Structures are given as structure tokens and as C-alpha cells.
Structure 1
Amino acid sequence: MTQVIQGLSEKSANINFQKVYYEKNPTGIVSATTSVATSIDNIEDVLESRAKITEDVIRAIIDDNVFVIGVCGPGGVGKSKLLKDIKRRVKEKKLFDEVVMADVARNPDLKRIQGEIADALGLKLMNVETVSGRADRLRERLEGDPTKNVLIILDNLWEKLELEKVGIPCTDDNKVKGCKLLLSSRYRDVLRTDMGSNQQFLVEELKYGEARRLFERTIGERVNDLEFPGLVDRVVENCGGLPLLILSVAKRLKHGDLAEWRNALINIDLSDAKSIVELNYHDLKDERIRSLFLVCALVSGRISLRDSLVYCMGLGLYKKFSQTIENARDRLIMDLRCLQDSSLLLDSDDMKRFRMHDIFVDVAISIAFVEWHALAGKKDYGFKEWSKDELEKCTAISFPCVGIDELPEKLDCPNLRMLLLDEYNPFLKIPESFFESMGKLHVLDLTGLYFTSLPSSIEFLVNLKSLCLDQCHLEDVTILGKLKGLQFLSFFRSCITRLPKQIGELTDLRFLDLRGCTRLKVIDPDVLGSLVNLEELYMEDSFDQWGAENEALPSNTSVAELKNMKKLSTLYIAIPHSTNLLRDLPFGKLNNYKIQIGDIWDWSDEYKESRTLKLKLDSHNFLLEEWVQRSLQLTRDLHVDGLQDGYDSIHDLCIEGFEELKHLHVQNSPSFHYIVHSMDDVHCTAFTRLESLILENLNNLEKICHGCLTPKSFSKLKIVKMDNCGEIKHLFPLFMTRIFLQLEEIEISNCHLMQQIVADAEVEEDRDEIDNDPKVQSYNLRRLTLRNLSETTSFYKIVDHSVIFFNEQQVNFIISKRVMFFPILIIQVGENLLRLVF
């Protein structure tokens, strides 16, 4: 097709066709010239050598004859950063339909890798327990649509990764099918031989000139200090051209005195990064932050915000901030950022997951060994190799997916405070007497194990504060009722069917995580009501079989029990039947929530907001409850379904106004005639923070706005989607054209009376309020989708029956000859518009 298009273009040279556009650039039709241009656009502060490699890798990615691309180089040279930059650029340029990235690591955790890929694909794996089952789901998803181009980026391979076990479709000789693979490793043979890469790109240490520029950019004006110029060259040379260490040293010396600069010349041994890690570690001012770093080290340098909170709170590291969990979490986030600023953790776009560079992990574990007598298991190295003296002294033990297959009958560790055993091994058995000598244990994490009943010796853990039984098979957990001091308890994604009444005896419990416990059908009555100190309760994709409040012989817990939780601040919950709702629920006092009421919702979460409310209601009366109104006032992501009566305007649902709302989705609600209905001669201010508006099956919707709005209304709206709204004739009144200053996406489907997107002056009721601001000529619309609009005659009609859609500098549509549905369409397309569908 490219040859045909090229031929047509040459024949019509006298017609000024600037470009031929697709919705995106399919990988098969992007020329080498285009790929170079694509790969170097808008590079900001990228080193020249890295820009060249980025350019070459992207050229290989879009080559139809290349399927597996490898990036190799020593630790600390910047491979992971390079892959992240490539991922960002590929997504920005829409070279692939889907781009996913996962960190493989030294000890690959297949479930975690599968989870990272699935999350990026929008695929839920919560109900699938086994690695093979999850692999099947991933394979079905990746092979499901052969027209989609998928780029899978796997960072940090240490050895061959069996792609089939992960769920990446491939042939018998490990050749990938239907996807492109971009891999990184320190070892060329892993990429070339084990993974069969077609092309490999070497990332080398920086030459001195680039290393110096990177150092100067990081340290700033300090480099010109008269005391230091003579030292700068020598410090940079000592960094060996490794960007990771250049940045680490520069950050540390940015505020250092002359003595620290001189010390850097002597003590930086970059062959194994030992000295730089130790220097940065001892530079940390607070013992709490140093302990946090050691906790991160013991999980192989990869930790989630949730796990770090549960571990650190259990260890008492945040005791002085622990008035509420929220206070402690805020301080924890600040401390994690401090570790990033000190280059002890890598920077991250997602503040929910953190990672230490691999060249730092072994050094960090060695520091933990010295400071805490901590022991970390490795493949073929663990309990049998450790001496009795080491076990007696140790305060922390970690087995991070290293393949342990046997445990001692009794572990004699009288000083142990933290035990992490993440193995995903259903055949690994914990002996009954295993915990007898661990009376000082504060944190216990047993992940991926199988229990018909928990070991009886667990009752000896009288000081246990945090317990994680994640992704386990659990049949009987009644013994947990004896752990009276427990404050944090997690069953995340575990196969558990019942929470027995004994769990109600954990009255000190502050945090309970039941997310992904899809088989949990029974919570004994009074269990939740007894947890009076609970602050955070997570029941996402979990229990929803609520009993009635006044049952004579209740078999299950009721929503009414939540009223006993006076300290509750975070709640994720689904209540399928509104008959289980009460007048005085404590939801209005929550700081963070995901509340689903009604039987149609799922837990998909496009916008990741901290306060989400999904309501399916037949009657409007329930909306008048005080806690509902308070929740509506604070909600940032609101979904409404099935409202039959009571309101003609969506804005009227919240009496005090939607102060925080950023995303609104309304469907199947015939009572609504307007989004906003303001009184005559009264300028209403509405939806000042709203970013997305989705309307579906609103049979009686007539207008977005009836009456007058202030300029602040809808001033941040970026996305509008409307489907099957049968009465509406104009999407926006003329006086709302200011909205196009920030609008990025419009999608309208099956609105059979829709005549124009913007009403013209002939039908505009509020002519005096028409916005003639010249600034409104600057539009940002990037995607326009129009489907099945049988009555549509124009987008925006002006006096001569033409439509001026975008300004000349961005996107200019001229639709002339006012006849049925755009019979003549002349389009000039600029850089902003990515998709146009009729």
C-alpha cells in the first residue's frame, strides 16, 4: 500500500497533500526515514550517545523483519532508563497499539511479571491462582486480536526466561509470535543465545565529555565554585562513566563541603559500587530512613508502598507518626523519596512501587547483615548453610522467591523480628513447631503457600504486629484469633472462603486487606463489628454477601457492623443490594474510598482516583441521606446508573455541589434532561474540576446546559463521550465554545436527533451570553469520533453555512455546503489530531 500511495502522491504533485494519515503509524509501513524522525523528536536533556542508541532501537522495533531486540551493557550503565525512555516515546508516537513493561530481576517471580503485563493490558488475573492458569489467560489476551501490534519490554534478565511459562506466545524454539520483544540484560549471551534476539545494542559507559556534562547538570552552579574545579575532573573520572554512580555522587556532593569532595576521590570504588552505597547510606540523617532502606534490601530491592507500610509499621519504625495509618503512610512516602534523592532507590513514575538498582542490592544486603544480623536466602543456600550462632543472632530473614523446598522442624531464632517467606510453592510445608522460638517476631509474611490449617506454633507469636498471608490457599484460620496484638492483617488474593468469629477477637487490628479474595462468601456475624480500631478495610473484588441487619439467626455479617468502626478512614466495598443500606453509615467521614452499590459494577479503575463512588439506584430518595451527600461532595470518580425519577439535572444530585469531581459517568437514567439546569438570569457555577464526561443511554437528555453558566464551569473538561442519547440535538450551546480551549477528545455515537456539535445562533437560546473571546480560536482537540448520527448536518455552522473547526496552526476543518452528514469534506490535518472516525 505504501507503494500505491507513493505513486498517487507523485501523480498529484500539483495538489498540495501534506501528509497521508492513519489512526496511528502501523509498524509495517513506517520507513527508515520516518523512524529516525520519530525517534529523535522532542528529546529533552538526553545524552548524545543514548539518543543514538534510542534511535537505533526504535528503528529495529518498527522493522517487520526483527522480532526480538536486545539491549545489553554492564550494571549501572543506564539500560533500564533507556528502556523506559523508549517505552514513553513509542507510546507518545503510537507506534504500537499496546506497550507493556515488566522487570524480570535476578530471581524471577513469574506471578509478579504476569501481573505487571496484565495490568498494562487491562487484564484482570485476580481469580486465577496458578502460574500456568495466568499464563493461559495472558496468551489468550495477546493472541486474541491479530490486528493489534503489541510491544513487550522485559527489563533486567539474568538468565533465560521461558516465555511460554509467563504467557507470551512463542514457538518451540522460544521465538515470539504476534508481538515484538524488547529485552535488556548484562549478558549478551542471554539475549542472543537464550532469548534468540535478532539484534543486540550495546550500551557502554559514558565518555568523559558526556559524563562531565551529566555531572554538571546534576550538581548545578556548584561546579563553578572556586574550591572545586580542580576536583571535578577527578571525581568524574572516578565514576567510571556509569550514569547511575555519576548521579549518585553528584547528588551527594551538591551540598557537600571540601572534605566530602576530597573523600569522594579516595573512597569511591566503582568496580562493585560498595563504597558509594555505604557512603550514601551513612549520609542518611535519620535512623528510620536507614532502616527503611534495609527493609527494601531484604526483598531484593523491590517493594510496594503497601508492603513497606505493613513491614515498617510492624517493626515500629513509624511509631511517632502512627496516630493514624494515613499519617504514617505520608511520612513513609517522604522517606522513600529521600532514598530516591540519595540514589539508593531508583526514581519511579508510580509512587506505589519502588526498586533498588541491582548493583546496589548485594551491597545493601551486606549492610543489613552487619547492622541487623539479617540473613537473605539464595538459590541452594539457606537454613542448612547458616550456623546456629548466625540464626540465634539474626533479627531478620528473607527468602524472596529463591526456590526453597524444605523448612526445619523448629527455627531457633530468639531475636528474630521479621520473617519474609515468599515462595509461591503449594508443596512447601511449614512444620507445626516451626515458630516456637520466635517470641520476638513482629512481622511475618508467608506468600503463595498452602494451608489446611495454620501451624499450631503460630500462637507463640505474641508480639506479632503485621501478618501477610497473601496468595495462599487457606482453609482454617481460627488460630489467628490468639494473636491479640495483631494490627495489620492481609489475605490479598488468597483462596479463603470464610472469616471465622475468632478474627473478631483481634480488637487491636487497624488494617485488613481482603482484596482479590473472590471465594470469600462468609464473614461470621459480629466479626467486623468487633474490629473497633480498624482504620483501613479493603474488600475490592471480594466479599459482597451481606446479611440483613435484623435477621433473627444471621449467617453472615451485615453492613450495619461498619458503624462500630469509628476510626475507619479507608474503605473499598461492594454492596450489590441497596436493601442492605442504612441511614447512618459512616461512609461520609472517609478520606479514601471505592464504594460500589448495585449489582452491575466491576472493579475496573481507569482513573485511579482516591475517592470513587458507583451507584445503581431505582429511586432518588436514597440520595438524600447525609452520608451519601457528603460522599458525593468529596467523590472524584462518580458512576450513576438506573435513576428513574426525582431529578432532571445531574448537577442537582449533590446539594452542595460536586467540589472534587473529576470524572462523571452516567448511564441508563431516563430522569435526566440536562447535565446542568440553572435558574433564569442566574449564572450557575458547575463541575469546575470535571475532566471527563461519559453519558450513555439517557433517553430524555435534551441539553448539556439549560440556562447560563459562569466561565469556571466545565473549565477543565478534556473528554466527552456520548452514546444513545436520543433527544439531544446539540452537544454544546454556542456560549460554551470556550470549552474547546482544553477539550481533547469527543466521541458521539447513536444520537439520532443530533444536528450539530455546537448549536448555531439561530437556535441558541442565550445569545447574549455567546462567548466571542478570540482566544477560543486555540483548540487542543486530538480525537474526534462520530458514529451513526443520521441527522447531523454540520459541526458548527456560521453565517455562510460553513464550519470553521480548528485554527490554522493546529487542526483546520472546513465543512462546506450544508447538506446531509458531510457529503463534501475538505480536511487539513495538523499534528494534534490523531484520530478521525466517521
Structure 2
Amino acid sequence: MELLGPIVEVMKWIGDLTWRYLNNHRKLEENVNDLRRKLNDLNIRKQDIESRKDVQLRRRKVVKKEVEKWFEDVQRMNALMERVEQELPVVSYLRRAGLGTLVRQGIEEAQEIYKQGCFPDGVAIDGPPAVGVTFQIVDLEGEADVKEQIWGWLRGNEVGMVGVCGMGGVGKTTVMKHINNQILKESQFDQVIWVNVSKEFNLVKLQEDIACALDYHLPKNELEWPTALMNILETKRFVMILDDVWERFSLLNVGIPNPTSTNGNKLVITSRSFEVCKSMGCEVLKVQPLSEEESFNLFLKHVGHNNVLQVPNLEETVKQIVQQCGGLPLAIVTIAGCMKGVDDDREWRNVLNELRKRVKSVKGMDVKIFECLKFSYDRLRDLKMQNCFLYCSLYPEDYSIKRKELMEKWIDEGLIDEFETRQAMYYRGHSILKKLENNCLLERGNNEDEVKMHDVLRDMGLFIIKSVGHQFMVKAGMQLKKLPGEHEWKGNLEKVSLMDNKISAIPAHISPKCHNLSTLLLQENYTLERISESFFEHMLGLKVLDLSNTGILDLPNSVSNLENLVALVLRNCDKLRHVCSLAKLRKLRKLDLFNTDINEVPQGIETLANLTYLCLYSNDLTELPMGILPMFSHLQYLATILLNIQGEEVAKLNELEILSGLFFELQDFEKYAKSIFGQWPNHYRLAVGSTSLDYSDYDHWFPSFENPELYEELCFINCQIGRENRLLLPNNLSTLSIEECHEFKSLSTLCSLHEVNELKTCSIWQCEGIECVIDLSLSSCNSLPKIERLSLGDLCNLSELVRVEVAVISTSHAQTQPAMFSSLKTLCLWSCSSMKNLFSLELLQGLQNLEHIQVVNCKAMEKIVASEETHQGEGEGATTNIATSVLPKLRELSLQYLPELKIICNGGVMISANCLEHLSIMDCSMLKKIPLSLPMLDNGQPCAPPSLGRITIGSREWWESVEWDDANAKDVLSPSVCFE
């Protein structure tokens, strides 16, 4: 009996083995299909991670080792699948179980690898820091000698510290930006570090900015910062440029090694003070004002030569105006900007008289500069436009201000005329920005979407504010850790800007009695978590309160009593859980709760009948109480993001211009579309889909919901679209996405699509029912003449782009197809397993603008271009094989994981390579020929396209086996090849 138990266990083990053996034998084909599906999912995830990787590489990051290993694991699984596919058709009866075991193990391993491919902490780590920042620069006028002197000191060994001094606006920063760029080109140093110091010197901010330029994370303990910076800087040969230094400081306290001839480091400071430069131990060079001739030339460059010199008797007047600028480039450029287009000599003489009066009546160099610059401000001759300029002074020094944010602030403050529509106010805002830039009162920021204020012009703005009697407290960007003391909160304060500081709490003992305060800006105090209840008690006149990008957990209940509040901005307060009652805030026009952590709409929100702007987004907020939306009859901007919105309710918002959000049910969207009678919002980003979906899985549709004013986009997810019913679409629709809509057959079934005039982007994913994109047998939508990007992914039954009706004769066919996608620039095809041929030759002839083609993981793909073969000299009536070059603008051709691909194109058809930048061919083992039409030299020999960056090839063996029409093509292209 004692042996019975082990015997039973052995028999059970043998039985399990036998069962698994028979099961693997019997279910081999079923398991292979399962493995194919798992590999398909895995490769799609691989593509997504590769996209994330490419983005990080462009940011100078380095891919993590674990991610590289994950890619190797995916490649190994693809190799396993290839082996299985080869063995399956020829496997013997006895070896089926063995192959089945291999497939079963592959399924389990593919599942595990898929789970590992999340990488929530990112796919890359910080790589080597950039050498430095290259600046946009203007031509120098008159500072060439100064530049050469500084450049000589930096290249030599005698001078380690250089001081560049001169009055504000004389061109110190401009000269140093030229030198910064020149150093980067010369590559003599490991690092060029540029830091703006500004008037309010702050040791901590300086250290943080240096660390940021080095792409280095400082320790948590601030006491360790000098040592940490010293250690990393001592490993580099650097040039450090500290712009706009106002007071002496210790290099040792900051953590900057003293530049010596031994270490070869250089330090340059710019300052308005000769004494500051000298006290820092610098070799000092003073930037002098421009000569009269240089000043006049600079003025003409900015006002326009023809504008001045072609007007009789004007030149002398202009020269006298330029003299009043004192040789300061900033003043010259600013006044030239506001005089552009003026050709009346009487107006020029009046300007000269005004400037003479200003300069005579002031004392002190700074005030003299301000009065000269203030001339451009005065010539705006529009009080609201002038106040728009002055408002920019509330931002920190050298701060890049987002254009959209600035215009929103102007609207909140009532500085933009209250037009009937928000669009009209945006137009007005753009006009004001353009005027301020043309008058050189603002300049372009770090990119086209941002503007900056020169520090001298900011000083002038604050000077004007004070001189006309306004009371502002501006301590923006000063790295304050504590709120200014109560003694600084004067009773007559009108605006307070404390943005971009490090204030962590507002204590209970501070309760400013500021009854006239209308604007309080506390945004970008990321460490601010707590605001006392008493803080707002005596601010009952407050109209604009901005707490965005702070860490506050609760909005104090005292905010409930701010009955004059017009704008309450809590954007990106991602820890905010509680918002006090808003019932009394009946004047509120803007409520921004984007990216907060609230789980219910604020109490009393239904009383806010004057709202024109409402933004609600929180992961925990999914429902908007029924009946609330129609109460906001004046809404112009509505962004509810993940909230389910009711079609009939939204349709009652007759003034709505910008809309983003979700319709959980298609019926809600249809009700909305029918109720608005074609009066769609100007801009929208709408997703339509079943409530059964977890929308967090579809966050790739939502990242731009933050700025819906930039879009005209619809996304349908898991909807029954394309049936007989007429789905109404906006006429101005520019982006259409369709995902998991399995009854959807083709774009031609969308009856109203032919009325859409501006569709430029279309994406179709995971729709099992679609067999073609356009069906010419249907008359509703047979042409997409403006579409520029078409993305098709995971469409298992898609077999052709354009289906031609059988009854259509060949001549008609040839005339119709080329017009299909005449504006198409990008075509992406992923995991479409039934597609054998991508283009017909007739369709291809209409794709004259196509620039990017990506075909990935399409297992059945045999030809990219399906064309008739032609033959030379084979019997009577044979045609001559004359090469036809297609795709004249093609920049990228990427063909990956196409095991059946045999032909890119044949029949004398060649792909033009004149504009080619990137060619990628991976795992296309049956492809033997690359038919590229290369550009030719004068001697008739082929050459590499001048735009060609790289050619990515899967294996060296395959590349060596490729056939070419021109024997020299391979030699010409080989230097650009990299193998993966």
C-alpha cells in the first residue's frame, strides 16, 4: 500500500504528458494561429515603443539596456514564428506534437514578453548633454571690433574671466549670442553654458540654471550643490556666459571653478556696471554706443531703405531722429519698427520734435533710455494695446510667454475688446501681438508659439506702470520660498505677480487687506500645497486668480466669497481634490479645471450663468449632472475631455465655438449633429464610442484635448458606422479616425463625407469589416482630393485601397483613379494581412505629392506597385520597355516584415530617388531588386540623392544579394547603409 501513492503520482504524470502530447498534436494549427495573433500584437507594441524610442533619441537620450534586450526578445520570437511557418506545411505526422510543443511555449513566451513591454518609466535615460544652445541672431552693426576682442581672449590662455559692460540696450547680449554660436561651431570646448542671471540675483536659481544647462540633477540637500557643481564642471573644459549680472557674487559659493590657464575654462559676464565686472576679477571690455553712421545704417535696415531715402528732403530729419537714440541699438531698432511704412515728411518732423522734448526733460541714463523707448509705446495710441504691452511686465525676466496663454490673460483682464465671438477676440489678440512685435516691443521667444520681452523693455514697462500711478507688486521668477511679508501688501495694490517662485505655503498669519487688488498670479509655484483660509478674506475685489501649476490640495473656502471673480484658473493642479462652493461667483466667466484630481463637479457650478469658458478634466470625473450644460447658455469654449456629454444638451449651447469631449453613444453624437443644423463649432476634438470601452486604453487620442482650438477632429471607436443611416459630418472636418468599428466597410459608405471639403488626415484601425478604403461602385464618396495623410492599421480583411466597379471600363478607370488621393503626402500601412498589392499603376500616377510610404508587417504583401510586365523583342507586336519614373517627391520608403514581398515595382516602372532621405528595408527576404531611379551626373553616371540621410537594411547578406538596374547604384548607395 505504501507504494500505491507514488505509483499513482507517476501514472498521473505520464497521463499529463500524454494529454499534453496529444493536445499539441491535435491543436497544432489552432495554436499556430494563436501564436500569429500574439506576435501581431507584440509587433504592434514594438512599433509603438520604437516611435517612443525615436522621440527620445531626438532629445539626445540613450535607450535603456532593458529596452534593447526587449527588442532582441521580440526579434527572437519573430524568428521562431518564421521557423514555425516554414516547418508547418512539411511537418510529418510524428513530429507534429514536437512542433506543437514549440508553438505552445512560444505563445506563453510571447505573452510574457508583451507584458514586459510597458516601460512605465520610459524607454530611455539621459544621454550625453548637448554641447550648448544655438541662438537665433541678427546681424551685428558696429560691434565687430568688440566681438573680435572677446573672441581673442577666449581662444588665448592669458585671460580666464571676461567682463562685457555697457548701458542697457547697447548690444552686450547680442554680441555674446554671436560668440556663443561661434564657439559651438569651433568645438574647442566640451560645454558652452549660457545662463540669464537678471537683476534680482538668486544663488539657488543660478545653481539650478547651471545644472539645467549641464543636464544634471542636483542633490536634494542644497548645501551639497556647490560641491556637486564644482565636481561636474571640473571634468569639463567649458565656457560659461552669465548674462545680465547686477551684483558681485562668489564663484566658490555657486560651485564654479576659477578659470585658469591650466584648466582652460572661460567665464564671461555681461553687466551694466563696470564696477561689478572689475570686482569679479574680469578683464573688462566696454561696449560703446554705435557711431552716427552705424546708427543710421541700422535704422535704415529696420525701417526700410526705400521707405526713407526715396522721400525728398527726409534723410536729414531721419538722421536727427537717429541721433536722439544715443547710439543704442535697442532704441534704434524699436523706433525704426514703429516708423515702418510712414512716408509723410511732416509726421517724421513731428516725431523728431517729440523725441527732442523727451530727452531734454529727463535726468539719469536709465530714464533717458526709457523715455526714448517709451516713444514706441506711446505711438501705439491705443490704451488697451498699451496695457497689453504693460501686462507682459508681470512675467519674469527673459521669460518665454506662450502666445495663446497671453491672449487668454488679455481676455480675462478685459484688455481685448469684448467682441461677440471668442474667435474675433483671438483675431484681435493676434493683431495686437503682431503690432507689438512689429514695433519691436516684443520679440520671438524660444519658438514660434512664444514671445519674449527684452529686459530693458520690461524695466521700462514697470517704470511706466509706476510713473502713471498704478500700484503693482511684481516678484515673478525670483525663486522666493516664502510669501512676501504682510507689510509689503499695500492697501492700494492693483495687481500682484508672484508666478514662477518656490513658495510652499501661505500661512494663516498673512491676511492682506488689499481691497483694490484685481489680479493675483501665483501660477508655477509647483511646491505650493497649502493656502490658509484667511488669505483671501480681504481681497473681495479680486477678478483674476491664477493658481495653475501649483501643488495645492484644496481650494480655500474663502474663495467662495470672491463675488467679483471673473477668471479662476486651476489648470494642472493635479493634486487638487476639493474645490469650494462656487455658488456666489455669479460674475465668473472662466473656470479652468484641466488636469485636476477632483471626483465631482464643484458645488454651485449650476449658478454660473455667465460662463464663457469651461474646462473640466480629471481621471476620476466621468459624469456631468444632467441638465447643467444648458444653464451655461453663453459658453464659447467647452472642454470636458473624459466626461460623457449629452448630444441634446450640447446642442443648446448656441454660442459654442470650441468643443472637446466624448459622446459615449453614437446616438448622442447623431442627436447633436442633427440638432445644430450644420452650425458646427469652429474647432472641436470629439471622440464617439461605446461606454463599454475603458477610455484610458485610448489615451493616444487625447493628448491634444488640452488645446482643442487647434483641431477639427472626430474619432469613432467601436461604433456601428457606415450603415444605411446618414451620419452627419462637419463640412470643415480635417481629421477623421475610425477604430474598432467592425461593421464599417469603406469610406464610401459614409454618405456625408463627399460634403467634407477640408479632410486632410484619416486613420482607420482594427476594423474587421473593411475591405477597401474607396469603393467606386458607390457614388457617395469617391474622391478625397485634399487628404494628406492616410494611416491604415490592423485591418485583417483590407485587400485594396480602391475597389473598381466591374462595369467600369478601362478608360474610365484610368481617368478616375489618379484623382483619388491627389494631395496625399503620407501613407502608412501596418498589419493588414490580406493586402497583396498596395498600388495599381493607374492609382500611382495620381500620387504626385506622396512623400512618405510605410508598409509594415503585412504578411501577404507581394507587390508595392502592381503593373503589367512588358517585353522587348519577343515576337510580333512586342513593346519597348521604356522606364517610367514614379513618385517624384518621395522622401521616405519603409518596408518592414513583409515575408512575401517579391516586387516593389516592375514593367519598367522605377521609383524616383531625387528627393529620397530615408530608405528602410527589413525582413523582406524574397525581395531581390530595388528599382530606384537615381539622379545622374553630367557624365551620365548615377549619384546618391543629395538629401539622402541613411539606408536601413536588415542584414548584410540580403543587401549583398540585391540586384540593380544600374551596376553602379550599389556602390553609390553603400556609404549610407546601416545594418540592424
Post-superposition offset of 1:337: 1.3
Aligned to 2:103: none
Post-superposition offset of 1:233: 5.7
Aligned to 1:395: 494
1:487 and 2:565 matched: no
The worse-fitting range, judged by mean Cα deviation, of 366-375 and 74-83 is 74-83
Aligned to 1:9: none
Distance 2:979 2:149 in 1: 31
For the structure 1 residues 306 and 722, does the alpha-carbon distance in structure 2 shift closer, same or farther, using more than 3 Å as the test?
A: same
Answer 1 or 2: which has greater helix percent: 2
1:332 and 2:429 matched: yes
Q: Is the 8 A contact 1:723 1:749 kept in 2?
A: yes
Q: 2:923 aligns with which of 788, 803, 816?
A: 788
Distance 1:476 1:468 in 2: 14
Post-superposition offset of 1:51: 12
Q: 1:185 aligns with which of 236, 240, 243?
A: 243
1:719 and 2:852 matched: yes
Equivalent position SS for 1:216: helix
Post-superposition offset of 1:692: 3.0
For the structure 1 residues 205 and 258, does the alpha-carbon distance in structure 2 shift closer, same or farther, using more than 3 Å as the test?
A: same
For the structure 1 residues 420 and 351, does the alpha-carbon distance in structure 2 shift closer, same or farther, using more than 3 Å as the test?
A: same
Aligned to 2:830: 696
User: Which amino acid in 1 is paired with 2:814?
Assistant: D
For the structure 1 residues 426 and 616, does the alpha-carbon distance in structure 2 shift closer, same or farther, using more than 3 Å as the test?
A: same
Q: Is the 8 A contact 2:529 2:552 kept in 1?
A: no
1:249 and 2:335 matched: yes
1:594 and 2:685 matched: yes
Aligned to 1:672: 798
Distance 1:807 1:733 in 2: 26
Q: Is the 8 A contact 1:507 1:533 kept in 2?
A: yes
Aligned to 1:35: none
Post-superposition offset of 1:698: 1.9
Distance 1:709 1:182 in 2: 58
Aligned to 2:381: 285
Aligned to 2:300: 216
Equivalent position SS for 2:486: coil
Post-superposition offset of 1:749: 1.8
Q: Is the 8 A contact 2:403 2:450 kept in 1?
A: yes
Distance 1:56 1:249 in 2: 29
Q: 2:349 aligns with which of 250, 258, 267?
A: 258
Residues 43-75 of structure 1: CA deviation (Å, up to 9, x unaligned): 995669689979999xx99xxxxxx99997765
Q: Is the 8 A contact 2:901 2:927 kept in 1?
A: yes
1:567 and 2:655 matched: yes
- Give runs of aligned pairs for residues 363-382 of structure 1, distance below 5 A: 363-371=460-468, 373-378=470-475, 382=484
Q: 1:761 aligns with which of 907, 911, 914?
A: 907
Q: 2:442 aligns with which of 342, 345, 370?
A: 345
Q: 1:626 aligns with which of 727, 737, 742?
A: 727
Distance 2:972 2:514 in 1: 74
Distance 2:931 2:449 in 1: 44
1:649 and 2:768 matched: no
The worse-fitting range, judged by mean Cα deviation, of 429-438 and 77-86 is 77-86
Post-superposition offset of 1:289: 0.8
User: Which amino acid in 2 is paired with 1:419?
Assistant: L
Equivalent position SS for 1:496: coil
Q: 2:519 aligns with which of 404, 415, 418?
A: 418
Q: Is the 8 A contact 1:410 1:435 kept in 2?
A: yes
Distance 1:651 1:90 in 2: 59
Post-superposition offset of 1:612: 4.1
Distance 1:83 1:745 in 2: 39
For the structure 1 residues 744 and 465, does the alpha-carbon distance in structure 2 shift closer, same or farther, using more than 3 Å as the test?
A: same
Aligned to 1:469: 570
Q: Is the 8 A contact 1:593 1:612 kept in 2?
A: yes
Q: Is the 8 A contact 1:425 1:448 kept in 2?
A: no
1:511 and 2:613 matched: yes
Q: Is the 8 A contact 2:540 2:563 kept in 1?
A: no
Aligned to 1:458: 559
Post-superposition offset of 1:219: 1.9
Distance 1:512 1:246 in 2: 44
Distance 1:104 1:710 in 2: 58
Post-superposition offset of 1:790: 1.6
For the structure 1 residues 743 and 396, does the alpha-carbon distance in structure 2 shift closer, same or farther, using more than 3 Å as the test?
A: same
Post-superposition offset of 1:355: 1.9
User: Which amino acid in 2 is paired with 1:458?
Assistant: V
For the structure 1 residues 805 and 781, does the alpha-carbon distance in structure 2 shift closer, same or farther, using more than 3 Å as the test?
A: farther
Report the count of equivalent residues. Answer: 722
Distance 1:514 1:108 in 2: 39
For the structure 1 residues 505 and 78, does the alpha-carbon distance in structure 2 shift closer, same or farther, using more than 3 Å as the test?
A: farther
Tell me the percent identity: 18
Aligned to 2:540: 438
Aligned to 2:876: none
The worse-fitting range, judged by mean Cα deviation, of 803-812 and 232-241 is 803-812
Aligned to 1:826: 970
Q: Is the 8 A contact 1:107 1:401 kept in 2?
A: no
- Give runs of aligned pairs for residues 277-316 of structure 1, distance below 5 A: 277-300=373-396, 302=399, 303-316=401-414
Equivalent position SS for 2:228: coil
Q: 1:199 aligns with which of 225, 247, 266?
A: 266
Distance 1:714 1:649 in 2: 16
User: Which amino acid in 2 is paired with 1:335?
Assistant: I
For the structure 1 residues 754 and 47, does the alpha-carbon distance in structure 2 shift closer, same or farther, using more than 3 Å as the test?
A: farther
Q: Is the 8 A contact 2:950 2:978 kept in 1?
A: no
Post-superposition offset of 1:339: 1.0
The Cα RMSD (Å) is 5.8
Distance 2:339 2:890 in 1: 45
Distance 2:949 2:579 in 1: 65
Equivalent position SS for 2:685: strand
Distance 1:86 1:819 in 2: 48
Q: Report 1 or 2 for greater relative contact order, CA contacts < 8 Å, sequence distance ≥ 6.
A: 1
- Give runs of aligned pairs for residues 128-139 of structure 1, distance below 5 A: none
Equivalent position SS for 2:374: helix
Distance 2:204 2:421 in 1: 32
Equivalent position SS for 1:795: coil
1:584 and 2:680 matched: no
TM-score with structure 2 length normalisation? 0.60
TM-score with structure 1 length normalisation? 0.69
For the structure 1 residues 489 and 678, does the alpha-carbon distance in structure 2 shift closer, same or farther, using more than 3 Å as the test?
A: farther
Aligned to 1:6: none
- Give runs of aligned pairs for residues 30-69 of structure 1, distance below 5 A: none
Residues 701-725 of structure 1: CA deviation (Å, up to 9, x unaligned): 34443463597x5444333333212
Equivalent position SS for 1:694: strand
Distance 2:226 2:866 in 1: 54
Q: Is the 8 A contact 1:616 1:641 kept in 2?
A: no
Post-superposition offset of 1:645: 0.9
Distance 2:219 2:288 in 1: 30
Distance 2:142 2:182 in 1: 16
Q: Is the 8 A contact 1:811 1:828 kept in 2?
A: no
Post-superposition offset of 1:642: 0.8
Equivalent position SS for 1:316: coil
Q: Is the 8 A contact 2:335 2:373 kept in 1?
A: no
Q: Is the 8 A contact 1:723 1:750 kept in 2?
A: yes
Q: 1:639 aligns with which of 750, 763, 779?
A: 763
For the structure 1 residues 629 and 202, does the alpha-carbon distance in structure 2 shift closer, same or farther, using more than 3 Å as the test?
A: same
Post-superposition offset of 1:329: 0.9
Equivalent position SS for 1:495: coil
